[in-house]
Amino acid sequence: MENAGKTTFLALLYSLLRRGQSIPNYRFAGSYTLPGWELLAGFLTFKDGSNMVSFPPHTSRNAGRVPGLLHLALKDETDKLLDVVFADAPGEWFNEWRVNEQAKNAEGAAWVHHYGDGFLLFADCQELAGAACGEARANIQMVANRLVVNLGARPLGLVWAKSDVENKRPAMREKIQAHIRGKDPQHYQEFAVSVNRDQVQWHEQVLEAVGWLLDTIRHEPSQPQPAVPRTDTDDLFLLRRSVLV
């Protein structure tokens, strides 16, 4: 859902990599979207003469990111290069999608669900501790219901975002856990994250969540990649391009 901490998660992931930390079993090897990562991470970065940081702005459906795709090149322990793409999608898409998967404004969410190799579902601990906790719980469960359709072997992780917020209503979280586990996803795990620095394990679980996704995806049979069309051309520039099959 919107404001659950998805964009902040990505900003924190990149901030940790930028500081030299690594995803378990993977190390940073580059990116085609460094300006995009830096834009997000800049909100979590101390400015000169100030010790104040902020959060990335809300990703609205009118933000020009449909969805925003952020790329990381990673190398595993055998030096194999992996290209990973993260979708920074507006929460409003999933709000529409949970109610009506055919809704016009839900097309982006349906696209992410169709093409995604793995998913992280964010549960806002702040919302779950507030007065509207019942509605928040129902919304998360409805999104989960959509995600598990044709999920197959694709991993689904539940991320407890803003975990520094006191868990005043443990029953809310327990009902979400039971609901998702009742759907029996083949690969499921939970992670607790926060930008708060008081407990370092919250930052570590940001890295662990991504590492778990990658490990799970790589050990499952991959979907066939689309064929690269072959064309003849007299263009001298294009003739220099090679395609590895």
Please identify, in words, the CATH class of the domain defined by 6-240: alpha beta
Question: Cα dist. 29→94, 129, 131, 205 in Å?
Answer: 32, 39, 44, 21
Cβ atoms 12, 203 nearer than 8 A: yes
State pLDDT tens for residues 180-192: 999 999 999 999 9
- Identify which of 88, 81, 161, 83 has the alpha carbon closest to the alpha carbon of residue 122: 161
Count Cβ atoms below 10 Å from residue 15 Cβ, excluding itself. 21
Tell me the two tokens of residue 78. Answer: 């055998």
State pLDDT tens for residues 2-29: 778 888 899 999 999 998 999 999 999 9
Segment (H or E) for 86:
strand 81-88
Q: CB within 8 A of 184, min separation 6: which ones?
A: none
The residues spanned by each domain of the chain are 6-240
d(CA 26, CA 215): 10
Cβ atoms 170, 129 nearer than 8 A: no
pLDDT score for 242: 46
pLDDT score for 121: 95
Which band of pLDDT confidence, cut at 50, 70 and 90, is reported for residue 93? confident
Q: CB within 8 A of 123, min separation 6: which ones?
A: 4, 140, 158, 159, 160, 161, 173, 176
d(CA 88, CA 188): 21
State pLDDT tens for residues 115-162: 999 999 999 999 999 988 999 999 999 999 999 999 999 999 999 999
